[in-house]
Structure 1
Amino acid sequence: MFLVLLLTLFLTGGCVEALENRFIFFPDKRIEATPRDRGLAYEEIYFTTSDGIRLHGWWIPGTGSSLTILWFHGNGGNISHRLDNITLRHDLLGTNIFIFDYRGYGRSEGEASEEGTYHDGDAAIGYLRGRRDVDPTKIVFLGESLGSAVAVEMATRHDCVALILESPFLSIAEMAKASFPLLPIGSLLQTKYDTLAKIGRIRAPLLIVHGENDEIVPFRHGRRLFEAASEPKEFYGIPRARHNDLYLIGGPAYLETLNRFFAKAIEAAASP
């Protein structure tokens, strides 16, 4: 009876939209630090989406690799909360890194939405392809958590040399089931991020990474996406890793796996 009453209140009180916003997007406007605080050279980047939203990001040049990682971050915080992760990848991978904030996050204008994040992704790709120091044939899309859904959508629209998904989920509806198993709200949500419906269309080399102890996105989501994906594909489970510590628990071994994956992706792209 309580659940029926609660669901009725959501439906009649207009609370589904409010719950949806709190469930999906957790932006933070304050930039707590910059790559300079980690001893990294970088550029402050501002660029504009097709619908007129000004976005902010960081360009961190690599140390020898010709690859560029375009980083689609998760639903919480902003780019400054990824600095430790950025530093580790920069030091051990040597690739260029471009990470930006979606609309409503950090110094980016606007308000977050599913369609908005797709506009943001399109604009970030356009910006990168316009840089003279970027090889447009060697851009890797990296999506973490919510960013994995954005990265998959981008990979259906734009070419990339490889696609990496960290802690990906099947869809918002499936996440609602996992997070609110006794409250059947999945079908009521307007935001879809239906990665499962899109993953089979990806033709770039795919690496899915998931923590075996992920407390937010069930490990089975990553496995099911892997099963639905087309070749070439790889799955890398990290024992003991939770949702936000893949790079810490995975450590150098995971980054070495990334380097091997990159090498194979570049070789495949160079093959006739």
Structure 2
Amino acid sequence: MPIAGRLALLAGVALALISVAGCAPLGRLSPTHYWERTSLFQPNKYPAGEWNQTTVLVEDAYFGAADGTKLHGWYVRNPQPKAHALVMHGNAGNVTLMAETIRTLNHRHQLSVLALDYRGYGRSEGTPSEAGILQDARAARRWLAKKEGIAEQDVLLMGQSLGGGVAVDLAASDGARGLVLAGTFTSIPDVAQHHVSWLPMKRLLTTKMDSISKIKNYRGPLLLAHGDADEVIPYQQGLDLFNAAASTDKRMITNFGGKHNDPLPDEYRQALDQFIAKLPPLSTQQTAVATGEEIVTER
């Protein structure tokens, strides 16, 4: 079921349960907690997906989150990278859906790329939650920085939809060499409110992903793209997020007629090339590629 339909179902369940319980949701004690989690996070666990890729040669990256959760991602090295990108996908599927994106970023845009599967997705262990996937992104950034021999703040953060919210949190909290967002929301309750206008979703939902508040704390380069026919996350939320960003070096690309999962136009690709070319220099000199991580190459 599409996320909009799931949110509507969630709202109906929330209203029924709250009227029975007679209390406001309180984190895990919330009567909507289970329904909220299963509506927002729709992972495909391994072996679901096309894991034997032919369009891009990937390496399996294995690393652990701070709480010990074992995580997985796909890594592709560029011998002369213009930047080093951590890429975070949306709320459904797993990293295999990003094969073409990884190939394009690596070949056309000349990036070294790590695409993360959050906990519970693909080969990553655990169960997804807001706090958990934010922790996963930090672990992935740390792995990529060590692998490429750069500082963690020199990683380029890229996120689509839910992954955009994860990227905003990481950039706003710790900084980044650059931030690239596509189809990203102002907050999860704002998305829910758009689809279910007759319920107070900010009060009901325990998952916040409050990107519009967080992005005010990020001052680095920003490139944001959004389709003006996005049926999942309204185009206005993309505009609001862009306007709220404190960065003085920011640009927004409108995908005219584009829906949530439609390919981005060539204008975006050109803008991304320009964005990468203007990124600030690395804060530290690159060192030898780190060793000691568990890396298995798949051909």
TM-score, structure 1 as length reference: 0.89
After TM superposition, list the pairs within 5 Å mapping 1:1-272 onto structure 2: 8-11=15-18, 12=20, 15-30=31-46, 31-34=48-51, 37-62=53-78, 64-131=80-147, 133-136=148-151, 138-230=154-246, 231-247=248-264, 250=265, 252-266=266-280
Letter in structure 2 aligned against 1:237: T
How many Å apart are 1:185 and its aligned residue? 3.1
* Cα distance in 2 for residues equivalent to 1:98 and 1:53: 18
What whole-Å deviation, never above 9, does each CA across 1:5-53 have from its counterpart, x for those lacking one? 965422136652233123311111034223x623422211110011000
Mean CA deviation greater in 259-268 or 74-83: 259-268
* Cα distance in 1 for residues equivalent to 2:252 and 2:267: 14
Maintained 8 Å contact 1:144/1:167: yes
* Cα distance in 1 for residues equivalent to 2:59 and 2:86: 15
Higher helix share: 1
| Gap runs ≥5 in structure 2 | 1-10, 22-29, 285-299
* Cα distance in 1 for residues equivalent to 2:212 and 2:238: 10
SS in 2 for 1:80: helix
SS in 2 for 1:130: helix
Maintained 8 Å contact 1:63/1:95: no
How many Å apart are 1:209 and its aligned residue? 0.7
Maintained 8 Å contact 1:54/1:108: yes
Letter in structure 2 aligned against 1:9: A
* Cα distance in 2 for residues equivalent to 1:254 and 1:76: 23
* Cα distance in 2 for residues equivalent to 1:109 and 1:181: 35
* Cα distance in 2 for residues equivalent to 1:67 and 1:6: 45
Higher RCO structure (Cα 8 Å, ≥6 apart): 2
TM-score, structure 2 as length reference: 0.81
Mean CA deviation greater in 137-146 or 168-177: 137-146
How many Å apart are 1:260 and its aligned residue? 0.2
Letter in structure 2 aligned against 1:54: K
SS in 2 for 1:105: coil
* Cα distance in 1 for residues equivalent to 2:43 and 2:13: 27
Residues paired across the two proteins, number: 262
How many Å apart are 1:100 and its aligned residue? 1.2
What whole-Å deviation, never above 9, does each CA across 1:56-75 have from its counterpart, x for those lacking one? 00111126333111001110
- State the identity as a percent: 32
**Shift in CA distance, 5/165, structure 1 to aligned 2, threshold 3 Å:** closer
Maintained 8 Å contact 1:211/1:246: no
Mean CA deviation greater in 89-98 or 8-17: 8-17
Maintained 8 Å contact 1:59/1:98: yes
* Cα distance in 1 for residues equivalent to 2:282 and 2:124: 36
Maintained 8 Å contact 1:9/1:15: no
Mean CA deviation greater in 163-172 or 89-98: 89-98
